[in-house]
Structure 1
């Protein structure tokens, strides 16, 4: 993975290799500016030549793929066509915490309702005079937009980014029907988002709903048979292998699964639920597009169909980060075998001063001090333990305690009760935790 480089005035330069970064640090020409993502700052240079660097994004409801690539364009002398070549500099996968935010707000709402109604006077609801502004997003959805925008700005501070590529929709049905559509006409149209088959593959986890078979050809199956009045609505469609589809035939599902009541209940419940991941992405795609446009650099959009075509054509494994690297128009992609930085949004702590019981009443109080002995939860530290069962050198994310005995989450395990005297801060908390993972070399 490339190392980010800043000049003497904190301005981004072209990333360098790990070997060159070690030489600059050993010769005293650079210092470490940030540990994760690893960044060095030169002590004897101001400015320099840079090349076009593009940020590529593959937004998801739970994980967003990030890729930083260096682009070059060349003209084929035989055909005269322009070839866009991309070399991967850095890969990352940003895990959102939208589900945690949604669950926390639900718990807070229930606790408030309990406190209002328990032995208290009745209060009329006040929601009739509350209106939501245009473009309002739920906090769990707004979090996805803001964290992605935040990381785009961070990467702009670390590399000379000149453009952004964003996967806007899964399959661009409008562009397929009318290739010349553009502008306001495009924005006012109806985007299907997911093709029916791809939607069903995502909804039913790419397996037969009856026997659970995976990695086999799947057929679209009507839960309520057409012969019995079943419709073609998406809620009446499922996926089945050829054997199960043939066995079921035109039988009602209750009759076909009369000896498997658990499977019947699962299918009936799942059929009524929409694909939440697709709904979340579709709800935030234009908000993310507008937020990236506000940064002030060109934003290129592409469809998921194009991303999948690029990945299959270039024989690249499927990960969120590599999907991001394949977004947009590219002809060749090199350097994608580098490690992936897994980024997990952890937040910056809680505002609640009291810990609540299951009924919403306080049972204990948290300390008002955010730092204990100079440490705060989320700091990345190195702990040198000299003796005991945890003896050794450990690096990870610390969780503080008022007693001075901290917990340390490393990449391998959770180490409990480490004294603050053994810990040294190497990077302050920034609301994220980091781990490195290797890229698959083949499909």
Structure 2
């Protein structure tokens, strides 16, 4: 993975290799500006007179995870990814928290009946999005803004994902029945691949050609609606024939119930993508860059043509105009939106009553929950070096979330700050882990 480089005035330069960054740090020509993602700052160079290549940030927006790829586009040469990341959103957590808050406020107002109703005194601005959806847009734009401050980005690319949810539920709809004009969307097959995880619903086989299959056979009254469709491999589709799913999976009734419940699941993820795609595009244009918009079909075509496996970050790599790509087998930074804490001052038991009060101080001995720390424990059961996100306690005994699990009860005296918490959790994985999940 390339190392991002800033000049002495914190202006972005072209990234360098890990070996060169190590030499610059060892010789005292650079200092560490940020740990994750790793950014260094040169002490003896400015951006004036430096040579720059075309660098583009590509996005594959999703309901739960957004893929990000920073690509260098040299003339007449294959594109080379400089940075791959996947941002996991916390929209569902935000929605659940707002539901709890609404219930608490409703209960309080019911105890004070003299207060006038408030459901009629709120106005929403044009383009308003629910907080759970606005979070997806804000998080994506925030990371694009960060990357443009650390890299000499010239342009952006966004996959404009579209799901026609009305037609997916009712294939016969046409003309004025839309009530919102003409709609365009993915083919039903592409939607089913996403919905069923690109694996056979009957045997969980992945990495093979998959076929659209009717759960209730058409010869027995089944329809072409998406709630009656699934994905199956060739052998399972042939073996099922026109049998009802209960007869075909008589030996595995739990799987049959799971398939039937998942087939009728709401199109919440597709609706979330539809609601945020134009808001995200407007925010990206407001950053002042040229924004290239491409369809999901083109992304899939590029990925299949180049033989690149299915992953959110690799989908982002294939967005837009792509001729050739090299060097995509590199670590992926997994970014998890963890939030910056809570205003809640108590913990509740299962009946909703407080069972203790939380400290009002966010910082304990100079540390705050979410900071990345390094703890060197010299002796005892927990002796060793532990790195990860810290959860502070008023007692001074902290918990550290490491890649191997949570280490509890470490003294603050053993901890050293690596990076202040910014509301995100970080981990790395290899793209080769997804090599078996090639899209059918």
For Structure 1 versus Structure 2, the TM-score category normalised by the shorter chain is 0.7 to 0.9
**CA gap 1:41/1:206 in 2 versus in 1, 3 angstroms:** closer
For structure 2, the 5+ residue unaligned runs are 165-179
- Checking the alignment, whether the CA contact within 8 Å between 2:334 and 2:428 is kept in structure 1 is yes
Match of 1:64 in 2: 66
Deviation of residue 131 (structure 1)? 4.4
Post-superposition Cα deviations, 1:246-267, rounded to whole Å, max 9, x if no partner, equal 5655555566667765444433
Alignment RMSD, CA only? 2.7
Aligned: 1:354 with 2:370: no
What's the CA shift for 1:307? 1.5
State the match for 1:90 in structure 2: 83
Tell me if the contact between 1:171 and 1:305 (Cα under 8 Å) persists in the aligned partners. Answer: no
Q: Which has the higher mean CA deviation after the structures are superposed, 317-326 or 367-376?
A: 317-326
Could you tell me how far 1:199 is from its partner in structure 2? Answer: 1.2
Rounded to whole Å, the distance in 2 between the matches of 1:407 and 1:210 is 43
Cα drift, residue 191 of structure 1: 2.5
Match of 1:102 among 95, 106, 119: 95
- Among 162, 183, 191, the alignment partner of 1:190 is 183
CA shift for structure 1 position 242:
4.9
Matched, 1:54 2:46: no
Distance 1:250 1:88 in 2: 47
List gaps (5 residues or longer) in structure 1. Answer: 75-83, 173-186
Moved more, 341-350 or 204-213: 204-213
Instruction: Give me the whole-angstrom Cα distance separating, in 2, the residues matched to 1:256 and 1:315.
Output: 35
What aligned pairs does 1:266-277 form with structure 2 within 5 A after superposition?
A: 266-277=258-269
Question: Which residue of structure 2 aligns with residue 417 of structure 1?
Answer: 409
Alignment of 1:6-21 (within 5 A): 6-21=6-21
In the aligned structure 2, how far is the partner of 1:334 from the partner of 1:259?
Answer: 47
Aligned pair partner of 1:301 in 270, 293, 313: 293
The 3 A distance-change label for structure 1 pair 129 and 390 is: same
Give 1:375's aligned residue.
367
- CA shift, 1:320, in A, is 1.6
1:182 maps to none
Number of residue equivalences = 418
1:30 alignment partner in structure 2: 30
Q: Which deviates more from structure 2 when the two are superposed, residues 48-57 or residues 256-265?
A: 256-265
* 3-state SS of paired residue (1:37): coil
CA-to-partner distance for each residue in 1:371-401, whole Å, 9 max, x for gaps?
A: 0001000111111111111111221111000
CA deviation map 1:50-99 (0-9, x unaligned) = 2221111111111111111111233xxxxxxxxx7311111111111112
Q: Which moved more, 1:47-56 or 1:396-405?
A: 47-56
CA distance in 2 between counterparts of 1:207 and 1:153 reads 36
> For residues 44 and 188 of structure 1, what CA distance do their matches in structure 2 show?
59
